[in-house]
Structure 1
């Protein structure tokens, strides 16, 4: 599409909103997921006290069950939206999210709360997958890149500030107030979507849900060396990040005694991911995805090794942990988008289904790894730093196998 008509909608003769509003709507939809995940961090001790949870590590389930619902939902959201259109699946997912928030507010037991969290994750899997599909439906070329860059700025920034939002809610009400805030935000996003966002996938471009066709797309995704290799590598990397998030409240309040200042420390560290997003956007066109992501992975390994060494020697004060964690987040930000792009590179003909499967693999794989590390937390940083280092070595080994030992090469075709 040329720059002259880059603002026009591909799949609809009418145009209910201009480019700025479209970007804001997409960003608002995508923000549902990180808000629901990270606003809960300051509330974990309160939830434990309310439901009399004796083991602090069990509170990590409030986060991990959300991610399980998110990861599992991605298996089906892409194929469903390719068959029935974007709007019904997106609106259905956002409705499930709103209902789950109500269930969480009224949850009489910890088990009911976990069910609500899994349903919230399931609902946000639709927003994450379909928001990206809508952008791909509506825009191409530089205009598409512009929308995704602006929307991803919000998606990256939300985890930085979400714990502070959660802490602010706790200052005026109890932990259930966080779910009320999430419900109100979800209803606002749902109403905006219903009123302003049209269907973007025309009938003529919808795909079959026949088991044979879906399974064939899954087979093509799972048997491609580059796609499955980078999915597994991303899973290891995300596992270390999930472990950090699962343990963050216990580390900052239990080990470093930051109390209510924990969200500020978390924000300072998470800002590294946002900085990496800006840096990657400026450098990837010049250096290439492999050079940047492989370099970041090596840096990730060095940070992990240094953290493990200092934790083993009991020489990891708060300032050094903050620095190493910020470098970890920066390296993660330089890796993950490029790993995703490299995995999707051979899958243009089945992009929707491949994207769903990739998202599910990386999320569910990362949850298993992250929960294993998180549940081993023993009041010290040694379990996390050990898991972080092993995950990094595993990711580096997988990438080396995928690229047949030729790391940092900007242009070559990985074997399929």
Structure 2
């Protein structure tokens, strides 16, 4: 499989977890009404997803080192199809949470296995450029997910979103069955899980990367979990929340494009991450100041622009010292930051305070970068 076709498939697989959540986000208010639960409980479905996702990256990361990248991807997508069927059949909110947990566990395959196969094929500066291209493509995810999700909910309710996710996972499974290559090195030995774990727990660079990935993701996904209820309180429709995804996608795409341009001009990744943290903090302050009006979405643009700049640089360099154990190291790295993302989103759901959450994420990111320097 040539590099262009592999990148096209990798983009689709990396977009899948993000599209799954942004597609689901406009359905939160409808889910709250259907199951007679409040905003805090409905928003917890995203937290459950991310916590399960954290353990999923360990499962699929280990499996892709043991049995290969291709069979792991096919198994994960098949599990997601099953979780979607379960979600369509449940009649209680606890049943929906269980289905979401299984979906999160399964969707993790799209993140950790895809990143592993990219690290198999590309190295060094070339890998950073690949992640920059991925960042530009991923910028379309919020627009696709929010707009499509809002349209489906408006027309048919939350069950249409679940059906759409089922069809999407099935289409990706068929594409992988036909086209996904096996990139696992032939003589790769599966590293010991706990030995790798203890090594990474003592690695300060890994912890800095973990915190940065978590903080920028909490900032982004707190909008998806709290945004529907903010729009509802402001008297704005779910469709308008869906349209906001188009605006935010432009910001994320601009951030990824700027990142790629500045890297080519010789800017270091650490310098760009610091700049992104300043931008995220500024955006958070703007959201806090304008949260009484729908114009707060314009300030949110700065937050997603910062995400598009920071994440490719953090991910591109995080596992540079773990080249002989990418699957296991990538799985544990994902476990670390997705546990933090899940915990952070739980706090955000409890507080129902988007502006304050964004300010905290930007300030903490600056603190982490400051300690690094």
| Aligned equivalents of 2:307, 2:180: Cα separation in 1 | 33
Is 1:361 aligned with 2:361?
no
| Aligned equivalents of 1:220, 1:237: Cα separation in 2 | 25
Distance apart, 1:157 and its partner CA: 1.1
| Aligned equivalents of 1:256, 1:206: Cα separation in 2 | 57
| Aligned equivalents of 1:148, 1:190: Cα separation in 2 | 23
- 1:123 aligns to what? 106
Deviates more, 1:342-351 or 1:27-36: 342-351
Q: Give secondary structure in 1 for the equivalent of 2:351.
A: coil
Distance apart, 1:307 and its partner CA: 4.1
| Contact 2:58–2:335, Cα closer than 8 Å, also in 1 | yes
Deviates more, 1:67-76 or 1:88-97: 67-76
- 2:362 aligns to what? 392
- TM-score, normalised relative to structure 2: 0.91
Is 1:290 aligned with 2:266?
no
Is 1:351 aligned with 2:326?
yes
Match of 1:375 among 323, 344, 350: 350
Match of 2:239 among 255, 260, 267: 260
Cα distance change, pair 151–238 in 1 and its aligned pair in 2 (3 A):
closer
- TM-score, normalised relative to structure 1: 0.82
Cα distance change, pair 206–256 in 1 and its aligned pair in 2 (3 A):
farther
Distance apart, 1:161 and its partner CA: 1.9
Cα distance change, pair 152–397 in 1 and its aligned pair in 2 (3 A):
closer
Q: Which has the greater radius of gyration? A: 1
Cα distance change, pair 331–110 in 1 and its aligned pair in 2 (3 A):
same
Cα distance change, pair 282–389 in 1 and its aligned pair in 2 (3 A):
same
What per-residue deviation string (whole Å, max 9, x for no partner) do you get for residues 200-239 of structure 1?
A: 224422424xxxx221211222211222123123323322
| Aligned equivalents of 1:135, 1:225: Cα separation in 2 | 24
Distance apart, 1:299 and its partner CA: 2.6
Is 1:51 aligned with 2:35?
yes
Is 1:21 aligned with 2:1?
no
What per-residue deviation string (whole Å, max 9, x for no partner) do you get for residues 225-263 of structure 1?
A: 222123123323322333222101011222252442211
Cα distance change, pair 143–325 in 1 and its aligned pair in 2 (3 A):
closer
| Contact 2:213–2:311, Cα closer than 8 Å, also in 1 | yes
Match of 1:317 among 274, 278, 293: 293
Matches within 5 A, 1:204-353: 204-208=187-191, 213-255=192-234, 257-285=236-264, 286-308=266-288, 310=289, 316-319=292-295, 321-353=296-328
Cα distance change, pair 180–365 in 1 and its aligned pair in 2 (3 A):
same
| Contact 1:253–1:262, Cα closer than 8 Å, also in 2 | no
Q: Give secondary structure in 1 for the equivalent of 2:49.
A: helix
Distance apart, 1:165 and its partner CA: 0.8
What per-residue deviation string (whole Å, max 9, x for no partner) do you get for residues 268-296 of structure 1?
A: 12421121111101212411101111122
Runs of 4+ in 1 over 6 A off after TM superposition: none
Is 1:78 aligned with 2:61?
yes
Distance apart, 1:149 and its partner CA: 4.7
Cα distance change, pair 147–245 in 1 and its aligned pair in 2 (3 A):
same
Cα distance change, pair 171–296 in 1 and its aligned pair in 2 (3 A):
closer
What per-residue deviation string (whole Å, max 9, x for no partner) do you get for residues 303-351 of structure 1?
A: 334444x26xx8x5332x1221101111222122222334334434433
Cα distance change, pair 113–149 in 1 and its aligned pair in 2 (3 A):
same
Distance apart, 1:390 and its partner CA: 2.4
Greater helix proportion: 2
Distance apart, 1:73 and its partner CA: 0.9
What per-residue deviation string (whole Å, max 9, x for no partner) do you get for residues 53-79 of structure 1?
A: 2x1221102222222221221123222
What per-residue deviation string (whole Å, max 9, x for no partner) do you get for residues 9-44 of structure 1?
A: xxxxxxxx4444333222222222112111112222
Distance apart, 1:171 and its partner CA: 4.2
Cα distance change, pair 393–146 in 1 and its aligned pair in 2 (3 A):
closer
Deviates more, 1:139-148 or 1:347-356: 139-148
Q: Which has the higher contact order (CA 8 A, sep 6+)?
A: 2
Cα distance change, pair 390–287 in 1 and its aligned pair in 2 (3 A):
same
| Aligned equivalents of 1:327, 1:154: Cα separation in 2 | 18
| Contact 2:253–2:308, Cα closer than 8 Å, also in 1 | yes
| Aligned equivalents of 1:195, 1:260: Cα separation in 2 | 36
- 2:148 aligns to what? 165
| Aligned equivalents of 1:166, 1:302: Cα separation in 2 | 29
